[in-house]
Chain A
């Protein structure tokens, strides 16, 4: 793998339901980058990421993950990728450790590596007192943390998160953000959708704004401000202006 290979390269990605959800989208995310994908409800963020994660077959276009053609070789692409949705999908009848053991088994990770890793992850997310409790009694935040630990236990190089902070309290959100930043520092790439613009502003290296299935703006916060022609404006103001412009154009 050459160092200049993009973590994610999407070209002409298209998906139609009753109307175009994603419309010939081009998107490139660099390796080791924290990328925030923003957009109003129904803009096509989740559909885009579900196609990248292999959960949805695109009507047209290509998806390349660290140089691997994800549509032709989905198994190889999935081996280096993790997906976390806004609705934590875990098993109520398993304990967090059992869940992580299952995930590590699915990714074929050697137990000698996955076991300490699982333990450390759960501890770092503040779940140590609950390691052997079934998840059925967990709060939404605890469930989200278990799902996140599951996504990280196989040490993915590309982590895709759809609204991971929804429903988390401030402390849990800080745990999750800290863990994600740690992964980026270790060389992983994070792509995250969020409605909390402050999080994108603080954490993301680059921000992409999607509306009506198309990328309408992209860049660092400074670049976005420059594109917008106002250097002192907040991301929230810029986002609203962009979305309004797109809505008016449509």
Chain B
């Protein structure tokens, strides 16, 4: 690298790659930019509704704030930061393991420290840009309801985006040093999932133990939280102050985050090359499977099921992706445990959580078994009808869901047999719906493309999400307002029918 001009050139290259990657994600790789832009605008407009429901009531907040209000705002900002950190860890890991241009860069006559500085900055930029995009409806709602002073919330988003990227790089490089490159990929993915979900779950767990409710606000607004919180002039509240329009604090936050990122770039960029070389060396590391002692006898479907189970078990990527969904089951499980000792009306909330988690998990599993077939030609040339292949794969999804959710439903049966029956029915219907949608919209893909499964058909993704939410709502209503459950159930079935009608596999 000879000059600043060269650095700028590489930065342009990185931005172009990031833009094309993002565009491909938005358009599903089909390059329909205009339609994608219109879809994005409509989606962003629709997003203002839930944003209003979630944050609208805070628009009138003004200084001076009491501790309880500061805690809620700070916790919300921290949650956003944790989610960005999770996303940034994933991006950094991808730079090490998945970028195809590393060999080219490493073999070129450039100063690697400079190149990796640019790459670190690109990660920070992409994480922040995505955060800005997602936060826009929320900030809009605040600006419309509470005035332009809320525009400073965008500055807070930039500050937390930049700092999240810096911390993510430190965590990933530390993991490399501590546990080595071969284990870092899996651990980083798990850490990323845990960080993303951990904060909300921790609050819910605390709320369950203290107040017997799943609402995290119960903890945040409690007297205990207020008593433990620092004084009103503590720097802990700076992000909240900055979001509410304190320009001085905002400038300080932005400067601190940029200094943090600059420090990380200065210290870690020269070591990036080292790390990349070590990753490349581990790419050929031999991993032993279980020593096959004797081939198993069984039907062709059994062979297929055995293969699917083995691949699911050995897929760290899937483990981390699924972990996020399973983590959300921890609070309802805890609540269930508590309900054995004391009766609580809040136990009804468990049903929609379980049903929704089942639907989401089933969608991911169904994609992996039905679409994510690495040896599609082999399976297609096997002497068995395609219908039996599909059946065996769907059976795998049903078995995994049954193994995960049966203990929860069984425990629920001791507390409330009727609720357990409704929950079990909800889990079954949500699972079958998710598997059916994956079947109707199946595309041949590699399992490693799991992260991008949502982009292959946005329609399938939305249908899957709406059905999961719909069946979860139906389950909850069945226990409290059976007539409304009928309406909700019919609406969800309608969504499923409409999805089938427009699916490419119809007929």
Contacts and interface: CB of A to CB of B under 8 A. Distances in A.
User: Which of A78, A93, A108, A118 counts the most B-chain CB atoms under 10 A from its CB?
Assistant: A93
Nearest to A103: B378
B284 A78 contact: no
Given A98-B292, A111-B294, A111-B296, A137 B283 contact: yes
A102 B306 contact: yes
B378 A150 contact: yes
B267 interface: no
B295 A114 contact: yes
Contacts of A53: 377, 381
Contacts of B287: 133-134, 136-137
B259 interface: no
B45 interface: no
A89 B289 contact: no
Interface in A174-198: none
A81 B381 contact: yes
Could you say which of B296, B378, B385 has the most chain A C-beta atoms within 10 Å of its C-beta? B378
A105 interface: yes
Main secondary structure on B side of the interface with A = loop
Contacts of B296: 101, 105, 111
B174 interface: no
A150 B378 CA distance: 9
Interface in B151-180: none
Contacts of A101: 292, 295-296, 303
B184 to A, nearest CB: 16
A102 B382 CA distance: 11
Listed residue (B283, B285, B289, B302) with the most chain A CB atoms within 10 angstroms of its CB: B289
A89 B306 CA distance: 18
Interface in B289-341: 289-292, 294-300, 302-304, 306-307, 310-311, 314-315
Contacts of B300: 105-108
B311 A78 contact: no
A93 B315 contact: yes
A90 B314 CA distance: 15
B380 to A, nearest CB: 5
Most chain A CB within 10 A, of B283, B292, B314, B381, is at B381
Nearest to B298: A105
A111 B297 contact: yes
B377 A89 contact: yes
Interface in A127-183: 132-134, 136-137, 150
Contacts of B385: 75
B294 to A, nearest CB: 7
Given A98-B310, A106-B304, A111-B295, A134 B289 contact: yes
A92 B385 CA distance: 25
Nearest to A131: B292
Interface of B: 283-292, 294-300, 302-304, 306-307, 310-311, 314-315, 374-385
7 contacts: A55-B377, A76-B383, A81-B381, A93-B314, A94-B310, A132-B292, A134-B288
